[in-house]
């Protein structure tokens, strides 16, 4: 059995070599009036915790970093409650985390992301960090929905993920039931994606700050999805770590 260590709460002299460190990232962004502003970060942090615990059950030692709470929000930045970080600032900020963190104890870092807008800035951060780090250090990035095949979303929810829809609502119900308030929520149909778009059209699409039908959310489906994501990710990571141990690369 391995260990899961909260790196913000543990002095470094009590940390031995870690197999993996996880950095969750999300956003402070309007999610209608039914979900908390921190939804994306809360989900990323929960996925990171579950992945850490599943990897420790497989014998690996995992460090959890405090999340990057703020993200880059483009389409919902005009809505009350949203905080957006300039994408270059965000990218540089995360690049600095990734380049100052490695030590003899830490040589593999995985970002688990919960906010769509962070994808490009954080992928650049990872690439730039790899250029600055010593060549043996490994860094990875993925958003939680990348770990889920389409069929799983369709079977559990009958839809693919949309902003603050029944999927995110279900996940938050499973993590923090009292954080969800569905009073006054009506379904909002997503509009067809067009090749050419104006800012005003994008803002109209997100006028309510959510899409889909959050009333269809369920705590049980959210719990199942969180478990599926964590299990699939832990499985993939464990395989990579084991292959590295026996020298297959």
User: Which residues bind to Zn ion, rule: CB under 5 A?
Assistant: 39-40, 168
Q: How far is the CB of 78 from Zn ion (least distance, A)?
A: 16
Q: How far is the CB of 76 from Zn ion (least distance, A)?
A: 9
Q: How far is the CB of 114 from Zn ion (least distance, A)?
A: 7
Beta carbons within 10 angstroms of residue 230's beta carbon: 23
Which pair of tokens denotes residue 17?
């070599």
- 39 versus 143: smaller Cβ distance to Zn ion: 39
Alpha carbon distance 129, 38 (integer Å) = 26
The residue with its CB nearest to Zn ion is 40
Measured CA distances, 239 to 44, 60, 102, 243, 246 (Å): 22, 11, 22, 6, 11
Q: Which residues pair with 64 in a beta bridge?
A: 6, 22
- 41 versus 91: smaller Cβ distance to Zn ion: 41
Q: How far is the CB of 44 from Zn ion (least distance, A)?
A: 10
Nearest to 26 by CA among 47, 5, 8, 51: 47
- 7 versus 48: smaller Cβ distance to Zn ion: 48
- 39 versus 113: smaller Cβ distance to Zn ion: 39
């Amino acid at each position: 059995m391995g260990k899961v260590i909260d790196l913000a709460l543990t002095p470094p002299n009590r940390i031995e070599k870690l197999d993996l460190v996880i950095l969750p990232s999300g956003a402070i962004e309007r999610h209608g009036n039914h979900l908390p502003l921190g939804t994306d970060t809360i989900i990323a942090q929960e996925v990171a915790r579950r992945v850490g615990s599943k990897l420790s059950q497989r014998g690996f030692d995992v460090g959890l970093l405090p999340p990057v709470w703020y993200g880059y929000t483009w389409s919902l930045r005009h809505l009350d409650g949203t905080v957006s970080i300039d994408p270059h600032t965000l990218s540089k900020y995360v690049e600095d985390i990734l380049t100052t963190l490695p030590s003899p104890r830490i040589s593999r870092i995985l970002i688990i992301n919960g906010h769509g807008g962070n994808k490009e800035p954080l992928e650049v951060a990872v690439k730039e960090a790899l250029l600055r780090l010593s060549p043996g250090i490994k860094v990875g990035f993925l958003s939680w929905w990348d770990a889920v095949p389409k069929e799983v979303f369709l079977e559990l929810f009958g839809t693919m993920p949309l902003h603050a829809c029944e999927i995110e609502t279900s996940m938050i119900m499973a993590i923090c039931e009292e954080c969800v308030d569905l009073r006054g929520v009506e379904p909002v149909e997503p509009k067809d994606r067009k090749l050419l778009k104006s800012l005003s059209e994008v803002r109209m699409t997100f006028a309510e700050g959510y899409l889909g039908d959050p009333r269809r959310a369920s705590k049980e489906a959210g719990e199942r999805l969180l478990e599926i994501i964590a299990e699939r990710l832990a499985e993939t990571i464990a395989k990579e770590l084991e292959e590295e141990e026996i020298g297959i690369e």
